[in-house]
Structure 1
Amino acid sequence: MSTATNATSLLRFATAGSVDDGKSTLVGRLLHDSKSVLADQLEAVEHASRSRGQEAPDLALLTDGLRAEREQGITIDVAYRYFATPRRRFILADTPGHVQYTRNMVTGASTAELAVVLVDARNGVVEQTRRHAAVAALLRVPHVVLAVNKMDLVDYAEPVFAAIAAEFTAYAASLGVKDVLAVPISALAGDNVVEPSAHMDWYGGPTLLEHLETVPVGSDPGAEPARFPVQYVIRPQTEEHPDYRGYAGQLASGVLRVGDTVTVLPSGHTTTVAGIDALGRQADAAWAPQSVTVRLADDLDVSRGDLIAAGPVPVPTKDIEATVSHLSERPLRAGDKVLLKHTTRTVRALVKDVAYRIDITAPIGEGGLEQRPAPDGLNVNDIGRVVLRTAEPLALDGYSDNRRTGSFLLIDPADGTTLTAGMAGEAFATVPTTGTPDEEDWV
């Protein structure tokens, strides 16, 4: 990939790993050594470090912004940082390592194209390392970096690094992760983070930043089917544009061109793209993730929440089977009535079944991650499989095919709390169902 291409590209990546593996220090080192820290920020960190009796600045304070994080020395919430180098722009999500904040890791990694999983060289691969690797695999994060940290505390020994890298790579491969790079680093000393380490001449790979700058990101929009969730219908009704009807939104994937044949879902009506307006000007085409206004050749009943799709289109269905990560302290149980938000559409839904809970810490068998019965539903931080019935048909892609249009949220209808993040499996045909009157009234 050329430098010119990288200069305009954006990489979203997340850090993960167990508690005290050094994620916040790594992020601080990355920001500091790449000259992405403002002078007043660095001065504040140096002052806070001196007040603690530390001579060197504690770079973890650059990301741990909550008072509780500074007091406890752990990361609690996802910390987003934006920085750039001459070669690429970055959005970094520093996620918590503690098991009780696994849901925060899911949030940070859900939009990431790369996950940096840290391991303490003294401890090797631990349960939370496997947990975060499994979450990254379930979320279909395409690239994973294993950063074996604190190599300075094991005398920069190559055998220690090699053993950890071999164990993690084998585990990630069993999860279906295809692209794994292992890098030996010391976030505290700066070895192999931005600059190559003088202590590990046995390592011939890229530094962490070099890999972040050069890893392929995104995909060719032309190779993906176009998906355009309608966010707003524009009808100015002015003398200049008396018959203008446009559909505004953000292209979730693919490319839309004037003249393309498209299908409006869930109605199934077919028409063509008559025009595309971007930034007040007409355009011949739009590609993800541009926000544009699309005009159609025919006057159709199109409203917020509808999906304008080109290419192979998903079959609208009311029955959804999905892998979900439960985010709320309130359990998710069979029979629960929820709201399901998919792109710009929100519908009522019923949890028909909680099929099982995934044990992402158990050894992986021939069938993949182990499934456990979930008679009491899913609790906070659980990942499992559910079956949902919606009141209206939804046009979901499989999550493995399209992360944007294959994902959804379950929401508490009483107070609007986000309950669960879902990743749709293959949509299956709607089948006649029988239920109690209460169920039928809801869905």
Structure 2
Amino acid sequence: MTDQELGATIEAIWRIESARVVASVARLTHDLDQAEDVAQDALLAALEAWPSRGLPDNPGAWLMTAAKRRALDHLRHQTMAAPKHAELARELDAHHALSEQAFAERIDAALDDDIDDDVLRLLFTACHPVLSPDARAALTLKVVGGLTTQEIARAYLKPEATIAQRIVRAKRTLFEAHVPFEMPGGAALAPRLSSVLEVIYLIFNEGYAATAGDQWMRPDLCDEALRLGRVLAGLMPEESEVHGLTALMEIQASRLPARMDAKGDPILLPDQDRGRWDRLLIRRGLATLERAGALPGVLGPYTLQAAIAACHARATIYEETDWTRIAALYEALAQIAPSPVVALNRAVALGMAFGPAAGLELVDALLEEPTLAHYHLLPSVRGDLLARLDRIEEARAEFERAATLTRNARERALLLARAAGCNEAETLPEKPSR
């Protein structure tokens, strides 16, 4: 193996194992910043040892043991005011005569909890309600998703220093608020789980349709969100909304290969080559959706959105889409999770199921909604409906307004092209669905 291949292999291993290592150490130290430092020390040790000794049989276990030992060594030598730390130090000192191997085995035995449980604890900690949504997303991407600060900054088009400060403040807030590294129980679980799912879906959506920049999509973010969703589904198999979100992301991700042309320009749903949709992901998503629906309780918002995505996935051509069912599902979604964006999507579905006039009536009712004042999809949807009603000049103005509101360069070019199409009296696609 060449040095370059070894470096790539170690990087891949770290991407896979870093969250588990940080999570396990954080549970021990109750200090996320320190846990990351210790994990990085273990990575540096691997970079020094593995090129000469070769990859260990179980690289993840090697990193885990190295990190745990460094964490415990740090706790032994630091000034420890907390009683639990003092007790740990006394226990370690009492066994100072143990051999190195026996010492490592004792550590592993003492901390032999399910590693995936540690990841789940870390995920819930990073998504604690004491943090703002932006801070939750950045911290989750960093410590659970394994992305670098530079990658997170690029994803959100923020200066790297801004993201770094956001992550530092989030860690400090968790530390100062004495947030425990544990799974919430009882009445605290529902709001915490909701926050976790919200952040995972936020990460996915940023990858599926980037809010700003020169790229239409960030598939790497979709992959990270899918990985987190699947881990969560495996650890919480009785939570229907966990399966609902995972199903939604799997079905949506199946379209990624068809959503962009060779130049990186967007391809809207009516024009996508459905032969390029990932059928394996669709099958997985539909099976996961079925699992969510089989669990007791009413269908939650993510499961309903997954059911809507499934309607698109089941249609072999765009014209076969069951818009009547989609409209009904959006009506159900509006009942349990009302929001202006849900109302806008419901208007689109009604416009497709019952004619553009029906959709336009609902869209016009949203024009004074403050939260949609700078939301580019509102004039974009209105432009589509107006075009279908042959109100071409009004449609052109709406597409131009939408272009001024979006921060994504690819989407802006698409909207301006559609406005130009109105000027040329061209036939427009019926719906700018993503």
Q: TM-score, length-normalised on structure 1?
A: 0.27
Q: TM-score, length-normalised on structure 2?
A: 0.28
Give the helix-richer structure, 1 or 2.
2
Give the strand-richer structure, 1 or 2.
1
